[in-house]
Amino acid sequence: MPERTYRSYSAEFKLSVVQAYLNGGGGLKAIARQHGISHTLLIRWIRKFELGELNEEFARVDKVRDYEAKIASLERKIGQLVMEVDLLKKGAQLQASGEPLSIVSGPPASPPAKGAA
């Protein structure tokens, strides 16, 4: 049995479709077809709008949530790039000192001190 995939729509899109219907832009099924959604989904959005769960404040919160997710993703990428730059700098320093270098194991271990057992 194939796994279902669900599309998500922005709050702004939902509001624009609901407003198009409420402003008399056509019948329920015609508006839904025009925007590529099912008429039952449009009915749910209209009910949410009437209950006050779908309004411009909701759209702003939705947009802020999207921005926060994007910021978190970019912060993770920055952390990854900083670690890569640090590794490359350390490699360049070791190469300049003439020590043999391995990216996997790093510089060779120091020889044990004399008299250490």
Model confidence pLDDT, tens digit, residues 82-91: 999 998 888 7
Runs of H (alpha helix) within 97-110:
none
Topology of domain 11-96, CATH: Arc Repressor Mutant, subunit A (1.10.10)
pLDDT tens figures, 21-45: 999 888 889 999 999 999 999 999 9
Alpha carbons 112 and 50: distance in angstroms, whole number: 77
As a whole number, mean pLDDT of residues 54-69 equals 80
Q: Which residue has the tokens 């070791």?
A: 94
Alpha carbons 60 and 11: distance in angstroms, whole number: 8
Write down the pTM of the prediction: 0.49
As a whole number, mean pLDDT of residues 70-93 equals 91
The domain segmentation of the chain, as residue ranges, is: 11-96
